[in-house]
Structure 1
Amino acid sequence: MDTHILAISGGGFSTEENSFIDEYLVKITRKQGPLNIAFIAAASNDAQEYIDAFYHAFQSENPSHLTIKDFESPNIQEVVNDLDIIYVGGGDTRFMVEIWKKTGFDQVLRNAYQNGIIIAGISAGAMCWFETCYSENEEDKYEEFPGLGFLTGSFCPHYNDLKRRIEFDNWAAVQTNISTFYRLEDNENLHFKNEKLAAKIIT
């Protein structure tokens, strides 16, 4: 069974109407009819406006969302297993990953991914799938922390931002245990199939 991760640097439904990258995501499934697609906004602490934008963008599918409280639901694995696509929003990457690990939701996601459920994510929702993350914290200082390790290497979204670019490049230059660094501007996206880079999509 093939696995897919779509890493979106910037854009998507949160900033665009009829986003090309979101249309590309839907086509990856190769399924006819409405898709079961759930949004996770944990990195933005379940921001309601973000969730509302997701429902608007995917109203022709079967949209739903999972809140932070849902991660500890006894039947959460069954709920996630019924999905075609998991779509993870941007925000505070470390906060989100720590909640997932604390609640065991990281393993729920890994099980779903290994069973062929497609994963997509914007910014923090793209960075988290890699082995190592390097991103700003609540005090706007950059720090290194573990990702989920579905994909090797490290991912930098919004590389067009000068401060982020300098911080990431300086950090990457002294790393010896990271195999690959992905640096994406806001109009660039990566599609991984079976943990290998299958396509770079520029929108």
Structure 2
Amino acid sequence: MAVAPERRLALLGGGFSTDDDGLLDDWVLDQVSVPRPRVCFIPTASGDAPGYVEQFLQAYQPRSCVPGVLYLFRRELDDDALRTFLLSQDVVYVGGGNTANLLAIWRTHGVDRLLREAFERGTLLCGVSAGANCWAEASHTDSFGPLTHLADGLGLLTGSVCPHYDSEPGRRASYQAAVANRVLQAGWAVEDGVGALFTDGRLTDSVTRIPQARLYRVQPGRAGAVDEQAVPCRLLAAARPSTPPA
């Protein structure tokens, strides 16, 4: 009997668009066993911003991978070509921006269904900010201006997600209040610098490029309180340059 592929996704608190060291990008590629993985960047949440796409290409073209970009604001692929393209990817990396707009546009073009199919086939799904929010059942977002909740994710990860937990004013308190009041389900709060890998719905790796950065499990507590538990994160280290022979 054939063994079903592992279903994996990663929440990122950074990457090529914010970090100079490339540690989280290297960590993402390390999760794929093929020699030159195909990596598709989806910049929908930023409106396919050209500068964002250029950042991705500059970061990933020198790496041992085959980078590509899926444009939806100037879509060039018909339905069959779109499905073939997405299902041929080893990694799908979703950029930040507006989570609500991202989900609406994906559903218009059927990308949500294709990503679910890719997920079931073993493609690693990952992303930062909106690109982390989108995979869960619900998320904490500023898609509508003020910080609020969005109970409208793809549901590939049970519960909720909150990005920028330590770096944006009001994030921590607002997310904790939403979880404590059960407006949002229990979930994962990601500080900048952190990466969290989920395999078949379970947390299987948590890393950080910043010693003090953390991943948190946030759940409702007693009497309207909230229970926040820090998850140990493995510190990523930059590769040492090789020493030339004497």
Q: TM-score, normalised by structure 1?
A: 0.92
Match of 2:133 in 1: 127
Q: Is the 8 A contact 2:149 2:184 kept in 1?
A: no
Structure 1 residues 40 and 58, CA gap change in structure 2 (3 angstroms):
same
Q: Is the 8 A contact 2:103 2:153 kept in 1?
A: yes
Q: 1:191 aligns with which of 180, 194, 197?
A: 197
SS of the counterpart of 1:2?
Answer: coil
Structure 1 residues 131 and 138, CA gap change in structure 2 (3 angstroms):
closer
Q: Is the 8 A contact 1:70 1:76 kept in 2?
A: no
Q: Is the 8 A contact 1:36 1:85 kept in 2?
A: yes
Q: Is the 8 A contact 1:87 1:121 kept in 2?
A: yes
Match of 1:166 in 2: 173
Deviates more, 1:73-82 or 1:119-128: 73-82
Match of 1:73 in 2: 78
The offset of 1:35, in angstroms, is: 1.8
State the superposition RMSD in angstroms: 1.7
The offset of 1:71, in angstroms, is: 8.5
5+ residue gaps, structure 1, are: none
Q: Is the 8 A contact 1:94 1:145 kept in 2?
A: no
The offset of 1:120, in angstroms, is: 1.2
- Deviation per CA, 1:31-61: give whole Å up to 9, x if none: 22x2211100000000111100100111132
Query: Could you tell me which amino acid in structure 1 is paired with residue 191 of structure 2?
Result: E
5+ residue gaps, structure 2, are: 210-246
Structure 1 residues 177 and 37, CA gap change in structure 2 (3 angstroms):
closer
Q: Is the 8 A contact 2:147 2:174 kept in 1?
A: no
Query: Could you tell me which amino acid in structure 1 is paired with residue 173 of structure 2?
Result: I
Match of 1:6 in 2: 10
SS of the counterpart of 2:83?
Answer: helix
The offset of 1:7, in angstroms, is: 0.5
Q: Is the 8 A contact 2:149 2:183 kept in 1?
A: no
Structure 1 residues 108 and 70, CA gap change in structure 2 (3 angstroms):
farther
Structure 1 residues 151 and 71, CA gap change in structure 2 (3 angstroms):
farther
Structure possessing the higher relative contact order (Cα contacts under 8 Å, 6 or more residues apart): 1
Q: Is the 8 A contact 1:39 1:64 kept in 2?
A: yes
Q: TM-score, normalised by structure 2?
A: 0.77
List aligned pairs for 1:90-129, cutoff 5 A: 90-129=96-135
- Deviation per CA, 1:120-153: give whole Å up to 9, x if none: 1011101110011221134335243310000101
Larger CA Rg, structure 1 vs 2:
2
Aligned length: 200
Between Structure 1 and Structure 2, the one with more helix by share is 1
Q: In the aligned structure 2, how far is the partner of 1:143 from the partner of 1:3?
A: 26
Give aligned-pair identity as a percent: 29
Query: Could you tell me which amino acid in structure 2 is paired with residue 46 of structure 1?
Result: D
The offset of 1:177, in angstroms, is: 7.3
Query: Could you tell me which amino acid in structure 1 is paired with residue 30 of structure 2?
Result: K
2:181 matches 1:181: no
Q: In the aligned structure 2, how far is the partner of 1:99 from the partner of 1:107?
A: 12
